[in-house]
Structure 1
């Protein structure tokens, strides 16, 4: 029998795929070779047709590649090995001190530049996963289920144990980013064991006093805290000149580090189950280091770091250079974009405010037709991760705003535009796409680019009177969207809801998906909260009772404090919703109410399938309308109530979309 070369290659690949894990280089070497070649995780993942999380798992030792990717991965590494031999052990790396990563400007060494860290991470780093949950019996539960004995009795001993004996951590998400520091979650038993109270007495600042014995013990051992102090998420570190970071993140469980509004009842999980759920979130999103809102914004920076190390050819020194496409410096908002507390909003007229918020609209009950009033059900549809879907392909400003009078509108230029949309006709059975309350605008107002672009899409050509535009712009959210979309889809799949289900199967799976696995249900809720919280953080308002309007606050110093970007995301989410509503209205279906990403329709039956129109020839959903499915931007069944209930709520001034998911909702199929 004669064999062709491709057949022989395939046979060799199959043989390589059967090799034991030690046939590949060790995890650290895999990562070193990739970074030495200047290939980032996203590039390798796309080439091998796997997720970034898969590449990260291969390079941390948490998992091994499987066929058919294994053979291709081995070829990639084998080709790089002779080109990038390891540096001698005594050769110092040209790297400036690395300091603990922060969510705000609280890191005393955050502005220092560092050289490329192709071999800066020791082989054992991240070998045991990103985190551990410590109980009161000296057992640290790792995310892979491994228990470790932890003999530490003081916080400084705990930090030393974590850095030198647990090998915890996670790889960076971008070649110019930083690895995630180890996270140790303290249960109530562990909290007591280290001399910490189970309840923080200072409920305003949520931190221990500086003279608390636990804090003074850390200071005595030369450990430092960030400016947020010792609260539910304390970060403990030492400045270092070595290549190994010395920083540990703690999360204090009884201090409500994991808010039930974002994490369900995850705080009540046994330590091993808690470690597994948090590990899944860390592998799919990032290692938690604060609230889900903090995580959402930190993920933006981790995927698009503001700076990269650049070597001066004349002096040989390293200095920070900008990373193209990133937010690299704080920029003041344009006056219409500023929140009311901002210095730019002082003496601003109410008509000069950019009001881009989510929908809260109800239809006038007197405009219901006899047929609509006679229908037995009101059915709610909810857009999956609507704000995440809105970031997909969105172009946002990367630099400062420029004021222009009588500009020509450009839908590709981010900014806010003063225009008169009051002349555009409005069907009273539909919400206006231009205002959050759905009522037609009555005078010229400021609009974000997606809103004004939608007016042009509808066939109108309003001429802006003036604008604040951002000539420097780009798709900042692209990696954030992809990363969180993958995390969401993977978590839904773990709950039994996959992308290959048809509409009926999808609705059936969704009736019980949160009951499949409490841990995965908690991760799902946290991912959703990460999306919404991260977008909300773009316009973080002042914290505390001592702030006075017109005074700056710390969040303004972050490059990611960008209320204009938040406005653009919400604007696009709202116009995306209106586009679907408009298409469905053309098919004869008009909504009763809209609240953010939820819309309610009259229906002959209790299921969305009872009113969503299909193409008569193919049986597929009518293009441009609501499509049932798991992906971001697709829709799910939010709930069903009797139509008289919805009408009564409308007449009382309530919004049925706010309550359609109530416990009294009529279940589909009953």
Structure 2
């Protein structure tokens, strides 16, 4: 027989346990039976209406002392309105009887509010039970549906392994805000506890983007308050370069991570630390952190996001994760990671001898091993160049930075009142469409016949080609005429041939295995860009006049969506740039390998192919514009071109047919990659003044600040 002391000790332990609340559906029933609105209850509990909604749909649970107050209220209501009795004061009208075949539509139709839809939702049993997960504040709830009013388009089916989405933003009070408005209770007080909670209880993560790929690791974004709560400094100081920011190895948090047998990547504990252990079977053990007060979100790529409320940060990053990828670092890093996620290097295959499954090469990918470039594709400090003593020159496939010589301006052009800038939407992304690149190592050839279908680098003399001085040369980034033999990517040489000139390569580095490696990357980012722009009110079906009006207002429509759009554009440019990441840090010595060279995605030849095609596309439009309209540009900077114009709108100089439709071949307005949008307008005299000073009007057309110098 148990003693009296043992029994009383057990009872005392029960009394000290956290108060238990009724199920979420019962909470809503009791409130409605009492005739109290969610807004009125929120005032009484000194919280928000959205938080009360979260209590009633199981998305979050109250904390002390609000927990005890809410429990006391619910107990009082339960005594007044037991489940088997009718409410004394009906909070909602009596239900309307509808035919059985219409019941499903009526319960979730547009006329039904969220509260009624949730209250009327039937209890459901999943077809296959999900793997057991330790209970958390948001997941410990009955299997009750929370159907919302039907939308025009069905939302994507959530992966049951990741019920709470790809990421969460943790605030200092332990609230972790998810991408879809959910709020989780995170009890972690150390970074190690946070990692364990994220992997075991949070339900965060995202499914793989390719069937041969890997699931995305969960991302936890820390606010300044959360960082301090976890023992991290609010700011990192004392480093010359932002990319070098990291905690010292003897910092208590770094030592805690190591003591718990977790590891950090080579970048250490910086703004985007990755904390991991070796995978157990198929289960990855890795959590990505992003620390907001350490400038994890660059203002240029994520304008205004670091200053948003945690729920809005979660919404913004969550939309980016849904449309692009769960962020893994800067937008440039994410752009590169997206390439690998969509084209995984390996796939499972049967071993011919043993019949066992092994990891094999995935056709169309870049493989698992880094590949040295051909000497002309490398950079001057690359080991391939330094070891071989290469002096034969390098590819110079870069975006345009060209200003038209002032002495080529006519009096008629100078008398036009305006200079109007046009910007090509995601020009690098448009160039990546159906772009065939090399997948294997380069082979060296001499006196080879040019073939425009083979990606590679060609030593060709294009200096004999004479073009209109009012246009930039298509063969050099600064638009100057070549002075002798030089290395060019395939698209540049093919364009010389397209212009009717003979090309006779002296030498070439070509790749035998080829493929459209960037196609899925292009498709996903194109959809992300177009869909986000459409959400901001700039849709495909607009006329040019409507398009210009929509572009005037689109950034004001929704700051979060505008930030996502900027991040998508930065992902494209940054991802292409990362294909040829240069060594960083003042201690680097020429000829040494640097970390980026160990990636299979360090591929300067692919970067050159994208930029070459983009520059050729730009020149082709410039040439067609001159043919159709007689207009010549004042300057070009990457994907921005400035034209003299009789009016302040692109409509005043773009070519249109008699039917009113845009003429094909020139610049056309529109929201899709490769089409143009207005970049800015300034007085013509302003542009000429900059040109006379050797400055580029395309760089400043948006803001009109003529005192900036070209180094910025």
Question: How would you bin the TM-score normalised by the shorter chain?
Answer: 0.7 to 0.9
Counterpart residue number, 1:150 = 186
Q: State the 1:344 CA deviation.
A: 2.3
Q: State the 1:597 CA deviation.
A: 0.5
2:640 pairs with 1:598? yes
Q: State the 1:145 CA deviation.
A: 0.9
TM-score by length of structure 1 reads 0.81
Aligned match for 1:484, one of 506, 512, 525: 525
Aligned match for 2:163, one of 127, 142, 149: 127
Counterpart residue number, 1:505 = 546
Counterpart residue number, 2:461 = 420
TM-score by length of structure 2 reads 0.77
Counterpart residue number, 1:613 = 655
Q: State the 1:201 CA deviation.
A: 3.2
C-alpha separation in 2, matches of 1:167 and 1:62: 20
Aligned match for 2:256, one of 203, 206, 217: 217
* Higher mean displacement: 482-491 or 458-467: 458-467
Counterpart residue number, 2:219 = 183
Counterpart residue number, 2:362 = 323
2:697 pairs with 1:656? yes
- Is residue 62–residue 129 contact of structure 1 (8 Å, CA) maintained in 2? no
Q: State the 1:123 CA deviation.
A: 6.9
Matches within 5 A, 1:255-266: 255-266=294-305
2:374 pairs with 1:334? yes
2:328 pairs with 1:286? no
Counterpart residue number, 1:311 = 350
2:490 pairs with 1:449? yes
C-alpha separation in 1, matches of 2:509 and 2:211: 34
Which ranges in structure 1 are unaligned for 5 or more consecutive residues? 1-12, 31-60, 75-121, 666-670
Matches within 5 A, 1:232-311: 232-311=271-350
2:674 pairs with 1:633? yes
| CA displacement 1:616-639 (0-9 Å, x = unmatched) | 2x2211110001000000000000
C-alpha separation in 1, matches of 2:301 and 2:312: 17
C-alpha separation in 1, matches of 2:454 and 2:270: 42
Matches within 5 A, 1:559-570: 559-570=600-611
Q: Secondary structure at the match of 1:166?
A: coil
- Is residue 420–residue 445 contact of structure 1 (8 Å, CA) maintained in 2? yes
Counterpart residue number, 1:520 = 561
Aligned match for 2:203, one of 154, 167, 178: 167
2:412 pairs with 1:405? no
C-alpha separation in 1, matches of 2:419 and 2:391: 37
- Is residue 170–residue 180 contact of structure 1 (8 Å, CA) maintained in 2? yes
- Is residue 198–residue 204 contact of structure 2 (8 Å, CA) maintained in 1? yes
C-alpha separation in 1, matches of 2:329 and 2:203: 21
Residues 530, 178 of structure 1: CA spacing in aligned structure 2 closer, same or farther, 3 A cutoff? same
- Is residue 62–residue 128 contact of structure 1 (8 Å, CA) maintained in 2? no
Residues 609, 23 of structure 1: CA spacing in aligned structure 2 closer, same or farther, 3 A cutoff? farther
- Is residue 393–residue 478 contact of structure 1 (8 Å, CA) maintained in 2? yes
Q: Secondary structure at the match of 2:301?
A: helix
C-alpha separation in 2, matches of 1:17 and 1:449: 58
C-alpha separation in 1, matches of 2:149 and 2:341: 25
Counterpart residue number, 1:357 = 398
Q: Secondary structure at the match of 2:440?
A: coil
Counterpart residue number, 2:596 = 555
C-alpha separation in 2, matches of 1:584 and 1:374: 20
Residues 435, 213 of structure 1: CA spacing in aligned structure 2 closer, same or farther, 3 A cutoff? same
Residues 24, 457 of structure 1: CA spacing in aligned structure 2 closer, same or farther, 3 A cutoff? farther
- Count residues with an aligned counterpart: 573
Runs of 4+ aligned structure 1 residues displaced above 4 Å come to 13-30, 61-70, 347-351
C-alpha separation in 2, matches of 1:412 and 1:515: 45
| CA displacement 1:53-80 (0-9 Å, x = unmatched) | xxxxxxxx9999978989xx99xxxxxx
Q: State the 1:136 CA deviation.
A: 0.6
- Is residue 159–residue 206 contact of structure 2 (8 Å, CA) maintained in 1? no
Q: State the 1:229 CA deviation.
A: 1.4
Q: State the 1:317 CA deviation.
A: 3.4
Residues 582, 123 of structure 1: CA spacing in aligned structure 2 closer, same or farther, 3 A cutoff? closer
C-alpha separation in 1, matches of 2:670 and 2:324: 22
C-alpha separation in 1, matches of 2:508 and 2:126: 56
Q: State the 1:319 CA deviation.
A: 2.2
Q: Secondary structure at the match of 1:434?
A: coil
2:534 pairs with 1:493? yes
Which ranges in structure 2 are unaligned for 5 or more consecutive residues? 1-100, 109-120, 131-145, 707-712
Q: State the 1:18 CA deviation.
A: 9.2
C-alpha separation in 2, matches of 1:416 and 1:14: 66
C-alpha separation in 1, matches of 2:639 and 2:653: 19
Q: State the 1:245 CA deviation.
A: 2.2
Residues 201, 23 of structure 1: CA spacing in aligned structure 2 closer, same or farther, 3 A cutoff? same
Residues 22, 361 of structure 1: CA spacing in aligned structure 2 closer, same or farther, 3 A cutoff? farther
Q: State the 1:424 CA deviation.
A: 1.1
Counterpart residue number, 2:38 = none
Residues 18, 405 of structure 1: CA spacing in aligned structure 2 closer, same or farther, 3 A cutoff? farther
Q: State the 1:264 CA deviation.
A: 1.0
- Is residue 375–residue 390 contact of structure 2 (8 Å, CA) maintained in 1? no
- Is residue 181–residue 247 contact of structure 1 (8 Å, CA) maintained in 2? yes
2:384 pairs with 1:344? yes
- Is residue 238–residue 247 contact of structure 1 (8 Å, CA) maintained in 2? yes
